[in-house]
Amino acid sequence: MLYELLTKLPKTQAIGVSIAGCFACSYAVFGSLRYSGEDFGGAAPGEPKTTSAEWKEATKAYAAHQKMEPITHFRQ
């Protein structure tokens, strides 16, 4: 069925329809897997723990304790 449709279209249009169809299918698979998966404890459902407020605060505290300066560190 799809092959018959694509053979009736001009070559460039068939390529464009094929590419758009591949993007649409990959987006549908990504969305279904992303939003129906388990909750990892992040800020939003399905996000990893590293996006939670507690993780961000712990990261800031660790960086302050280690005296991390990612921008000015390499200027010395």
Tell me: the pLDDT tens digits for 5-55? 888 889 999 999 999 999 999 999 988 877 776 666 666 666 677 777 888
CA nearest neighbour of 42 among 57, 53, 30, 58: 53
Distance between CA atoms of residues 7 and 21, nearest Å:
15
Residue 4 and residue 16 in one domain:
yes
Residue labelled with tokens 């897997």:
33
**CB–CB of 15/6 below 8 Å?**
no
Residue 31 and residue 46 in one domain:
no
Name the residue range of residue 50's domain. 40-75
pLDDT for residue 19: 95
- How many domains are there within the chain? 2
Residue 70 and residue 45 in one domain:
yes
Residue 2 and residue 18 in one domain:
yes
Residue 7 and residue 25 in one domain:
yes
39 by DSSP, 3-state: which? coil
Residue 30 and residue 44 in one domain:
no
Residue 50 and residue 67 in one domain:
yes
